[in-house]
Structure 1
Amino acid sequence: MKEEKSELWEWTKAFLIAILLAVVVRHFIFSPATVKGESMMPTLHDRDRMIVDKVNYSLLEPKRFDIIVFRASPSENYVKRVIGLPGDTIEYKDDILYINGKAYEEPYLDEYKKQNMPGIPLTYSFSLKDTPIGRDTVPKGHLFVMGDNRGHSTDSRHIGAIPIEDVLGTAKIIFWPFKDFQMIK
């Protein structure tokens, strides 16, 4: 009888430890996220499921061109690409991205640029002053983010700069649908 209680207690402890580890990993280290909408196409598709690394931004600074998940409202998260870091000037002119006056390639947009009608830009010209930011530089503690599907993305051009503290993590792996399984670059 005593052996049965001991064995039951061991199984109970193992079960509780497993639950505790799962909660800690999901809450503080990795969590699943689902892409909603087409704002990140062609890189990510509607209903793609991915793993979000939550540790990265608690230890490191955001990097330009990371794909992040951030809290857009109390009930909704967005998935977008980091374009501007605090203090950066951002400008689009003739469908070319300029950060701090330097032109940047955006190879993740090549597929859409090929499909686009000649003479019609994928990304219309703007500067930060033309956005809700209304100033020359990305504010301290904030990020300027955009979706890859530039014509169909609600991003910093519309909602302003994103507080870094609202970033939940970086998208690392697409795991569903399984045919699209990949590490996100």
Structure 2
Amino acid sequence: MGEWSRSVIPIVRGLCFRYVTNKYLGTTVITYGPSMLPTLCITGNVLLVERISTRTGKLRPGDVVILRSPEAPRKVVCKRLMGMEGDQVTYVVDPKNSDRCKTVVIPKGHVWVEGDNIYNTNDSRNFGAVPYGLLEGRAFWTLLPRKDFGTLPPKLCLLYGLVEDNPVIYRIADSVQRSMRPKKRCHTTRDRRLKTSFSVIKLQPVSGDQ
């Protein structure tokens, strides 16, 4: 009995440590889909995600966050945080066809999220502000692909305080941001299957095991 307990206890402790780390501290995620182009690759990025900021209220506009989809709670998505409760957000309603803008005030206990690729994303412009409780973490570092290794870049228009209040300036800033990032040349057979409006992510253990 003693030998059995000595072999099992370390395994139990390791599993408990792994669970606590993934649940409360951080984890790794795999993202894919077109909505976060050009920041993230359509065919996949591996990101480091920390969960402390969401629990301590330290999130700020410009952060890349993971959250439960308000339309499909079993799905976890990756978006850019554009505004917190009480903020006034102006966005382009249909950027593919017009420059018409709309302004909303984010209600209490909610946040506003958008994909960096405003031409192909399903975000708060479609389903409205998102309850803060759906946020699961902040992505802060790119592990793969290796050419993108490093911190995630902020949204350029947020750096200058524009927040899409001028469609022309927004598009100029978006073009500049695209030129600052290397082109994503990811050739895989998954391209045909990635026609989703969300950048869906698959939660991974900290160890990176599949």
| Unmatched runs of 5 consecutive residues or more in structure 2 | 154-210
1:24-173 map, 5 Å: 24-46=20-42, 47-72=44-69, 73-92=72-91, 124-128=99-103, 136-173=104-141
Q: Output the TM-score relative to the length of structure 2.
A: 0.63
- Which letter does structure 1 place at the counterpart of 2:22? R
Q: Output the TM-score relative to the length of structure 1.
A: 0.71
Is the 1:32–1:49 contact (alpha carbons within 8 Å) kept by the matching residues of 2? yes
In 2, the alpha carbon distance for the partners of 1:63 and 1:123 equals 29
- Residue aligned with 1:62, SS: coil
For the pair shown, the structure with the greater C-alpha radius of gyration is 1
Pick closer, same or farther for the CA change 1:55–1:123 going to 2, 3 Å: farther
Is the 2:51–2:138 contact (alpha carbons within 8 Å) kept by the matching residues of 1? yes
In 2, the alpha carbon distance for the partners of 1:41 and 1:10 equals 50
- Residues 11-67 of structure 1: CA distance to partner in whole angstroms, max 9, x if unpaired? 332222111101111122112222131111111112112121112110124201111
Q: Give the Å deviation of 1:8.
A: 5.2
Pick closer, same or farther for the CA change 1:92–1:13 going to 2, 3 Å: closer
% identity of equivalent residues? 26
In 1, the alpha carbon distance for the partners of 2:18 and 2:32 equals 25
Name which structure has the greater RCO, CA cutoff 8 Å, separation 6+: 2
Pick closer, same or farther for the CA change 1:122–1:59 going to 2, 3 Å: farther
Is the 2:115–2:122 contact (alpha carbons within 8 Å) kept by the matching residues of 1? yes
CA RMSD of aligned residues (A): 2.4
- Residue aligned with 1:64, SS: coil
Is the 1:92–1:124 contact (alpha carbons within 8 Å) kept by the matching residues of 2? no
Pick closer, same or farther for the CA change 1:140–1:44 going to 2, 3 Å: same
Q: Give the Å deviation of 1:160.
A: 0.7
Q: How many positions carry a matched residue from both structures?
A: 148
In 2, the alpha carbon distance for the partners of 1:31 and 1:21 equals 12
1:106 counterpart residue number: none
Is the 1:123–1:150 contact (alpha carbons within 8 Å) kept by the matching residues of 2? no
- Residue aligned with 2:47, SS: strand
